[in-house]
Amino acid sequence: MADPNESHRDDRTPRPDATPEVVDAELVPDPPRTPPVSAPAPDDEQARQYEQYQRFLEFQRFQEWQRGQDGTGAQAAPPPPPPAPPPPPQRRPWGVKALVLLWSLLRPLLGRLLFLLVTVALVVLLLFWLLSKLLGGVTGGGGGGGGTGGAPPDAAPVTPPSPQRVVRAFYGYVAHQPEQVCALFTPEGGSAFAYYSQTADCAAAAVAAHEKVTEPNSFSSPRFTNDVIQESEGTAVVDSCALSVSGGPPLGKFSMSRQPNGGWQIDNYEPAACS
């Protein structure tokens, strides 16, 4: 007998052990996905305005906070003190003012006075130099050796301090300044010099001796030996024959004596008798 339920079974229901049926179908690709649209970025000008606006809001909030702090009674920082006024200018004492005024008035005069003094000093020095040249001023040579001309510097005193300097001055004056020769003699010595020179006076004898000089520079510097001066108790004798004389003849034998002022003068003269 047939089962009545079999007539109601759906034959289209797959069986558990049945193999699934493969159906040929065409693959359809997925549609392309559209990227999400982002909001447009604001430009630079908008960003700058936005930033300024934010700063303005922050400044307003800071002002409100500051007003709130003042309202609560909190002590605000005191304002800085005003700068001190400059000190009044110090007045100079009247004495200083007077000195400054006097100096401003005298400074030009002092400058002119100084210039005048310097000019006068230069003129005096120039005149002195010209007079020394016109009067035959000379520069002396060294002692003992041949000189560079003129009377030696130690011949200038009227009464030289030693017999050697008297003789050196005598030769130097005869060579360059015969008018000064007689100052080296006492009156007696000058008379003896004129007598043996066969002249009227001492000055004429000095001129006659000057005319015999051939080389004044060499003649004015005679050389001395160790024993040429014979000195004893304020007197001295010098013989020109013991000297080394060049540029002219030896000028005699001198007798000298020490004077009260300490200097030496020729008090006697004799011709030289050199062999």
Tens-digit pLDDT profile for residues 114-168: 888 889 888 888 888 877 767 654 333 333 333 334 444 444 446 788 888 888 8
Residue 23 has pLDDT above 90, yes or no: no
Kindly report the three-state secondary structure assignment for every residue of the chain: CCCHHHHHCCCCCCCCCCCCCCCCCCCCCCCCCCCCCCCCCCCHHHHHHHHHHHHHHHHHHHHHHHHHHHHCCCCCCCCCCCCCCCCCCCCCCHHHHHHHHHHHHHHHHHHHHHHHHHHHHHHHHHHHHHHHHHCCCCCCCCCCCCCCCCCCHHHCCCCCCCHHHHHHHHHHHHHHCHHHHHHHECHHHHHHHHHHHCCCCHHHHHHHHHHCCCCHHHHCCCECCCCCEEEECCEEEEEHHHCECCCCCCCCEEEEEECCCCCEEEEEEECCCCC
Tens-digit pLDDT profile for residues 159-209: 788 888 888 899 999 999 999 999 999 999 899 999 998 999 999 999 999
Tens-digit pLDDT profile for residues 207-264: 999 999 999 888 888 888 777 788 888 888 888 888 888 888 888 888 888 888 888 9
Residue 11 has pLDDT above 60, yes or no: no
Q: Which residue has the higher pLDDT, 10 or 112?
A: 112
